[in-house]
Amino acid sequence: MNNSSIIIADDHPLLLKGLHDFLIEKNYNVIDSANNGTTAYELIEQHQPSIAVLDIQMPGMSGIEVAKKCQKNNLKTKIILITLHKEKDLFLEAKNLNVSGYVLKEFAIEEIEICLEAVIKDKSYFSPKITELLKIEKDDSSYMSLLTPSEKKILKLISNDKTNKEIADLLFISVRTVEKHRSNIISKLDLNPRTNSLLIWAKEHRDLLSI
């Protein structure tokens, strides 16, 4: 048996039982389970497991919110997220939180063991299916060519956590102009106009912002 302790959480009873039974059959050390995000976080805090396998969409707290709270409170549990969702923003948000794994539910039985073995060895695992579906690498680099030099400068400052006011002061432009640039960048990068989607993208792609 692998000694890495594991907690699992999913709000669908059949999926939770199926995942639990599968991992037990494979001799993984599953120490507890939860059917909502709030309980999942409490179990992580209580047991300090090596790994937590969390559904993204759960009542109480989402898997993303649990990962954020673990990061905020410096909990060392490695987070693996499983989900039905294929949205690019959600995937980038998860990566920005430095989660250790990301697996689509439709491929979970095929991939969860591969993912766990990678995470146990201090490696990360992101389902090839999600990166293939979203064409992460190819599209993101090509999107950069759509941005003007001013937009690239603003994007780089956003990646450094600068506010609109700070960006305006640094570039000697108005806050309204910064907001207009941000709107244009979001449109060109094909992001959902959510509050933090641009920040997440900018942080995830700092290597493309060396201007």
Q: Is the pLDDT of residue 138 over 50?
A: no
Over range 158-164, report the average pLDDT: 92
The pLDDT tens digits for 52-84 are 999 999 999 999 999 999 999 999 999 999 988
DSSP code string of the chain: ----EEEEE-SSHHHHHHHHHHHHHTT-EEEEEESSHHHHHHHHHHH--SEEEEESS-SSS-HHHHHHHHHHTT--PEEEEEES---HHHHHHHHHTT-SEEEEGGGHHHHHHHHHHHHHTT--EE-HHHHHHHTHHHHHHHHHTTS-HHHHHHHHHHHTT--HHHHHHHHT--HHHHHHHHHHHHHHTT----TTHHHHHHHHTGGG---
Instruction: Report the share of the chain in percent with pLDDT over 70.
Output: 91
The verdict on pTM exceeding 0.85 is: no
How high is the pLDDT of residue 93? 82
How high is the pLDDT of residue 110? 81
The CATH architecture one would assign to domain 5-134 is 3-Layer(aba) Sandwich (3.40)
141 — pLDDT class (breaks 50, 70, 90): low
The CATH classification number of 138-208 equals: 1.10.10.10
